[in-house]
Amino acid sequence: MLNPKTSVDTALGSRYPEAELGDYQSGRVILSMGAIPDELSNVHQGTVFFEFPDSDVLELSGRHAERLLHGLVTQDIRGLPVGRATWSSAVNRYGRLISDFRVWRTSDASYLLIGPPESGAPLAEHIFAHRVAERIELDWKSPTCSCLVLAGATLEQVLESDASAPELGSLELAGVAIDHGPGPELGVPTRVLVVPNESMAAVTEALVEKGAQAAGTDLYDILRVESGYPLFGYEATADRMPIEVGMTDTVSYLKGCYVGQEVIAMATYRGHPNRLLCGVVFESSDQAPEAGTKLEFESGKPGILTTSVLSPRLGKAAGLAVVHHTCAEPGTVVFCQIGEERIQGELVAFPLVASPST
């Protein structure tokens, strides 16, 4: 059960001939639409949209969908009202991540699960491995739809609705009814849109007519780093727990048991996560260390730089890092190598840059 999309480059290239395309989170995306300062201006003074054609979208439905999903994911599904969305994770019995994803409760007995590329198959395996007699259906939506993330200061004007609302919404673009829900934390209002593939060109054209601009993941990473938003495959990996990588908001501590719950509860209440997600700002202003670079401390275990960018608003290189809990205090000095040069930085609390509205 693999996502059969094979023409992403053709589709993106035909709509955005000036775009630089590349790999991101196991999918094909627009990396850049041009100068980052211009894209930053678009997001902080207007609205931009990011296309994620290879996102995995599953629909879980049936009379036992709520019961099964509630026992398999970290969020409180029973407490999620119809028409609302939440950010959740699925973990194995050792508390290690399978993936994170958005859960949209579209009716009493149906949910849309929206995750990163290549998350659908392991999530489906997780569901069926623990299904006993539950009556459910799992529909693979990815071949027929894709995701847009809209972000920006003028998002409410573009959507003509409250961009911060926890409820799911719908709007019509190019004659197509488009569902949308709460998006990632990027320091500006965001929404996730699920768009039929056959309508994507018309929908993005309609967004441009409303004043939104296409943007690339180079900008997306800058916003993620500045606000401290982790991404599966970068900060979050299969050997880590959600509470170690900045995904604590995906975990409900009030619900009952779920697969992996005991490990996460013990790490939270009887001790501490071994690792934590931190922001890091470097002295360098013209070159960012590569993601995957080892971070060294004056004392303590090394950490890993998971995402790195050149932040125009900071005027410095910055990044997200997963470090041992004993070294995770803001202000802690770090060192890393860029080629032959050893550069210094320090850990910084999130957000690294205050929202323009604050």
**Model pTM?**
0.94
Residue range 120-168, pLDDT digits in tens: 999 999 999 999 989 999 999 999 999 999 999 999 999 988 888 889 9
DSSP 81-139: -TTBEEEEEEE-TTS-EEEEEEEEEEETTEEEEEE-TT-HHHHHHHHHHH-SS---EEE
Tokens standing for residue 227 = 């606000």
CATH number for the domain spanning 301: value is 2.40.30.110
Structure confidence at residue 61 (pLDDT)? 98
Max Cα–Cα distance, the chain, nearest Å: 61
d(CA 29, CA 20): 9
Closest by Cα among 167, 277, 279 to 232: 277
Please check whether residue 358 lies inside any domain of the structure.
no
Residue located via tokens 């630089």? 20
User: Given 209, 236, 271, which residue is the final one in a domain?
Assistant: 271
Structure confidence at residue 34 (pLDDT)? 85
338 and 232 within one domain:
no
155 and 292 within one domain:
no
| Radius of gyration of the chain from its Cα atoms, rounded to whole angstroms | 20
297 and 225 within one domain:
no
Beta-carbon-side half-sphere exposure of residue 248 (alpha carbons within 13 Å): 12
Weakly modelled stretches of the chain, pLDDT under 70: 1-7, 356-358
Annotate 49-86 with b (16+ C-beta within 10 A) or e (fewer). bbbbbbbbbbbbbeeebbebbbbbbbbbbeebeeebbb
* Residue 85: C-alpha distances to residues 6, 117, 133 (Å): 30, 20, 27
Residue located via tokens 């080892």? 294
Average pLDDT across the chain, whole number: 93
d(CA 140, CA 156): 31
User: Given 221, 243, 271, which residue is the final one in a domain?
Assistant: 271
Structure confidence at residue 285 (pLDDT)? 81
d(CA 25, CA 115): 11
CATH number for the domain spanning 93: value is 3.30.1360.120
Q: Is residue 81 within 8 Å of residue 93, measured between CB atoms? A: no
What DSSP character marks residue 226? H
Structure confidence at residue 14 (pLDDT)? 87
Structure confidence at residue 2 (pLDDT)? 38
Please check whether residue 357 lies inside any domain of the structure.
no
Q: Give residue 127's domain range.
A: 1-271
315 and 177 within one domain:
no
